[in-house]
Amino acid sequence: MENGTKKWGGGVHGQDLETPSNITIKGILSLLMASIDTNDKRRVISLGMGDPSAYSCFHTTAVAEDAVVDTLSSQKFNGYAPTVGLPQTRTAIAEYLSCNLPYKLSPDDVYVTAGCTQAIDVALSILAHPAANILLPRPGFPIYELCAAFRQLDVRHFDLLPEKGWEVDLHAIEALADNNTVAMVIINPGNPCGNVYSYQHLNKIAETAKKLKILVIADEVYGHLAFGAKPFVPMGVFGSVVPVLTLGSLSKRWIVPGWRLGWFVTSDPTSVFKNPQIVERIKKYFDICGAPATFIQAAVPRILEQTQVSFFMKTINILKQTSDICCDRIKEIPCITYPYKPEGSMVVMVKLNLSLLKDISDDIDFCFKLAKEESVIILPGQAVGLKNWLRITFAIEPSSLEEALGRVKSFCKMHSNQQNRYQATNNQPLN
Ligand SMILES: *Cc1c(COP(=O)(O)O)cnc(C)c1O
Ligand SMILES: *[C@@H]1O[C@H](CO)[C@@H](O)[C@H](O)[C@H]1NC(C)=O
Ligand SMILES: *[C@@H]1O[C@H](CO)[C@@H](O)[C@H](O)[C@H]1NC(C)=O
């Protein structure tokens, strides 16, 4: 048995894939869903997952739907596509991304993937070699840890600093990196923190990575979903300082996560990745990946070229509105606070103050009791690497968000050890 597990199960680099550090967001959310009280007649509201496609206010644009209908019914795209992606799809993605860069990407820089998730797998698989390590943010996005475990890539975590707008702790990067460090990962706009990095901070990240001779993997799946003071700046802007692997997809900006269309892009004007051996290695890896559905790929040029600015503005405006609602409601709940108002993506991290609660042991306990008692799902911070924090998704219809946070407020009141505090607020006139 011992040998059996070593060989087949537990041997993923000595890490057990079932440990909390390797639990996936989807995994924990389904456990929470299973603990919902079926006698509760109220509807279940999930602030857990970043997929708002079910809400009518987050419906994708007709441009995207029409493009897919047309490519499907044309009967021209029922066959296999090249494993690196259709040429016209690579060209369209190169042009779309080049709009925000000081140089032009070539179609050969672009590889089409099954969502950003597969782009993450490609990046980590290509870079993995015995003894290699990678620097990942904490809090972060657990797919990176899971992928690294499968690829036997050692993980070292650097902190994001809540008091500095979740900026990267660059001193930590310098302390963690060694000769075997292959890359550092940044997620901008941020998941799970909802932060957007300034040009200046990205420049510092580039300079640090250059000094340490490591690549930057930039997860820009939330690219352009910025609604605060700072504009979204792609990491590829610093591609001549340090080679950047840009990962993205249609999933979040077009709100079609089920279409599974993403990209892995070498934003690398100095041509480090143009080395024929590296190109060959990447292409071979794509041979085993299998490209996303050909008719979806074929629709990409029209989707990228013809989507109206008004669709993007509508999404940005709703996210701004729901993030404001979210922060206003959180302010009314004493046991949770947010250190930084979200400026992008669809999520915010809030800190749990357990000393105000009488019978909650940690963030996981909080989320399970909340699911059971209030039929509201929230992601415990441990799922993204921060104990006693919570990640709240605000990309849901405003009235559902209000209702869900109202229930969180009652829940916190029920479990509060500070009854006086709530009575004092309740006795105040409403206006
Ligand atoms: C949603 C998300 C992904 C996965 O994107 P898909 O295109 O759905 O595969 C990757 N990274 C981050 C940070 C995400 O939030
Ligand atoms: C890292 O590489 C440098 C330069 O090649 C070398 O001087 C140094 O000893 C190496 N450090 C370790 C820990 O191997
Ligand atoms: C938790 O709440 C108590 C009481 O309001 C406060 O004194 C304490 O500073 C809070 N702790 C944190 C970490 O915010």
What structural domains and CATH numbers belong to the chain?
6-58+310-426 (3.90.1150.10), 62-306 (3.40.640.10)
- Beta carbons of 283 and 257 less than 8 angstroms apart: no
Residue range 148-166: average pLDDT? 97
The finding on whether 325 has its CB within 6 A of some atom of ligand 3 is no
Closest C-alpha to ligand 1, atom 15: 191
pLDDT for residue 347 is more than 50: yes
The answer to whether the CB of 420 is under 6 A from ligand 3 is no
Amino acid identity of residue 233, one-letter, is V
Pairing of strands 336-337, 244-249: unpaired
Q: Whose CA is nearest to atom 1 of ligand 3?
A: 353
CA of 411 from ligand 3 middle (Å) equals 18
pLDDT value, residue 386: 97
What pTM does this model have?
0.93
Nearest CA to ligand 2 atom 10: 179
337 Cα nearest atom in ligand 3: 14
- Ligand number with the minimum distance to the CA of 50: 1
Is the distance from the beta carbon of residue 356 to the nearest atom of ligand 3 less than 6 Å? yes
User: What count of other Cβ atoms lies within 10 Å of the Cβ of residue 328?
Assistant: 11
Query: Is the predicted pLDDT of residue 31 greater than 90, yes or no?
Result: yes
**Cα angle 95, 99, 105; round to 5:** 50
From 333, 335, 355, give the residue whose CB has the most ligand 3 atoms within 8 Å, as the site to mutate. Answer: 355
pLDDT (mean) for 272-296: 93
**What average pLDDT score do residues 276-299 get?**
94
Query: Which atom from ligand 2 is nearest to the alpha carbon of 178?
Result: 13
Ligand 3 pocket mutation, candidates 336, 337, 356, criterion most atoms within 8 A of CB: 356
pLDDT value at position 425?
52
- Mean pLDDT of the 271-289 span: 93
Question: What percent of the chain has a predicted confidence (pLDDT) above 70?
Answer: 92
Q: What is the average pLDDT across 262-271?
A: 96
Counts of helices then strands in the chain (DSSP H, E) = 14, 13
User: 333: CA distance to ligand 3 center in Å?
Assistant: 13
What is the arithmetic mean of pLDDT over 190-196? 98
Largest CA distance in the chain: 72
Q: Given pLDDT bands bounded at 50, 70 and 90, which one contains residue 25? A: confident
Residues 91-121: pLDDT tens digits? 999 999 999 999 999 999 999 999 999 999 9
Do 131 and 107 contact (CB within 8 A), yes or no? no
Backbone angles phi, psi at 235, to 5 degrees: -60, -30
* Number of Cα atoms under 13 Å in the Cβ half of residue 246: 29
Residue 18, pLDDT above cutoff 50? no
Q: Tell the residue number behind the tokens 């021209």, with chain if given.
A: 76
- For the record, the structure tokens of 309 come out as 């600015």
